[in-house]
Amino acid sequence: MITEQIFGKKNPIIGVVHLLPLPTSARWGGDLQAVMERAEQEATALAAGGVDGIIIENFFDAPFTKDKVDPAVISAMTLIVDRIMSLVMLPIGLNVLRNDAITGLAIASCVGAKFIRVNVYTGVMATDQGLIEGKAHEIQRYRRELGQDIAIFADVLVKHARPLGTPNLTSAVKDTIERGLADAVILSGWATGLPPNLEDLELAQQAANGTPVLIGSGADIDNIGELMGFADGVIVASSIKRKGNINETIDPTRVSQFVEAAQEVVEKKPEKVKEMR
């Protein structure tokens, strides 16, 4: 599995660093040093809490551009990711919102990051940024041109979006993997903070046929044991922040509690996991 290659285990727990508004975004505050310092603190808190990897997002840049971000955002994210990689000895990934996978690959190639997340990789989704078309071909071609082994984690029917038409989840997963050549797929709820349902996770697992299926939103200490019974890893953000508030900073205690709960079902109850599946 690609997860074993990157994280050294089949079922990684990936924490998220939500960057404060970056230059040219609507809420940019004019102090890049403050953005960098908070990002460093959050990455350190995630590492101390025991996560297996970190993904860095320009989360607070909303409202997002549909695809290409501003060069100032690219420069800022490159500086921040490079700084974080010098602080923590964990695999690092990027998600350049809303859907700038090319920039994600470019930054990852320059700083040595291991993976990117792509919100709309195949198909067409109606979003608050308008219609976003998947560009799997362009992304794969650019990765080949860069000559870097950067994994592509692709959302299927991503949150905060609706597909044009009513595609079958099984078909969407298969297309993302077999035709889009994604290295892993991500399943989320309909919005930030909402988990995917268990039925969808089970369908995705069956359709993925051995390709990792990751939980992309909504996991918390109360539901992670159940969710991980149907998934190969989790990306977590909101529930490990102070008071569970998306606008707060990472809480190391919440991180360690979440990691312990997730590892319990994967490592201490393997037979239960098999039965759930």
* Long-range pairs for 100-103: beta carbons < 8 A, 24 or more residues apart: 100/65, 100/67, 100/68, 100/69, 101/135, 101/139, 101/152, 102/68, 102/138, 102/139, 102/142, 103/68, 103/69, 103/73, 103/74, 103/77
Query: What b/e readout covers 229-258, taking b as 16+ CB neighbours within 10 angstroms?
Result: bbbbbbbbbbbbbeeeeeeeebbbebbbbb
Stretch 81-97: mean pLDDT, rounded?
97
Distances (CA, A) of 210 to 165, 171, 205: 27, 15, 8
For position 158, what pLDDT does the model report? 72
Task: Judge contact between 104 and 96, C-beta under 8 A.
Answer: yes
Radius of gyration of the chain (CA): 17
Task: Judge contact between 155 and 120, C-beta under 8 A.
Answer: yes
Q: Which helix H or strand E contains 184, and what residues bound it?
A: strand 184-187
Domains of the chain, first to last: 11-276 (3.20.20.70)
Those residues with Cβ within 8 angstroms of residue 79's Cβ, 6 or more apart along the chain or in another chain: 32, 36
Q: Give the bridge partners for 111, in sequence order.
A: none
pLDDT tens profile 202-241: 999 999 999 999 999 999 999 998 899 899 999 999 999 9
For position 271, what pLDDT does the model report? 47
The region, left, alpha or beta by phi > 0 then psi within -120 to 50, assigned to residue 141 is: alpha
- Grade residue 276 by pLDDT with cuts at 50, 70 and 90: very low
CB atoms within 10 A of CB 22: 23
Asked which of 54-63, 150-159, 176-185, 189-198 is least confident by mean pLDDT, the reply is 189-198
- Grade residue 128 by pLDDT with cuts at 50, 70 and 90: confident
Nearest to 167 by CA among 176, 157, 177, 158: 157
Structure tokens at 3: 């997860």
Side-by-side strand order, sheet with 130-133: 130-133, 124-127, 161-163
| pLDDT over 90 (residue 190) | no
Gap between the Cα atoms of 275 and 27, Å rounded? 48
Gap between the Cα atoms of 258 and 172, Å rounded? 30
For position 80, what pLDDT does the model report? 98
Stretch 83-99: mean pLDDT, rounded?
96
Gap between the Cα atoms of 107 and 56, Å rounded? 11
Task: Report the SS3 class of residue 63.
Answer: coil
Q: State the alpha helices, DSSP H only, in the chain.
A: 2-7, 32-49, 71-87, 101-111, 136-146, 169-174, 198-208, 224-227, 252-263, 270-276
Residue 82 identity: D
pLDDT tens profile 14-41: 999 999 999 999 999 999 999 999 999 9
Stretch 61-68: mean pLDDT, rounded?
93
Those residues with Cβ within 8 angstroms of residue 102's Cβ, 6 or more apart along the chain or in another chain: 68, 138, 139, 142
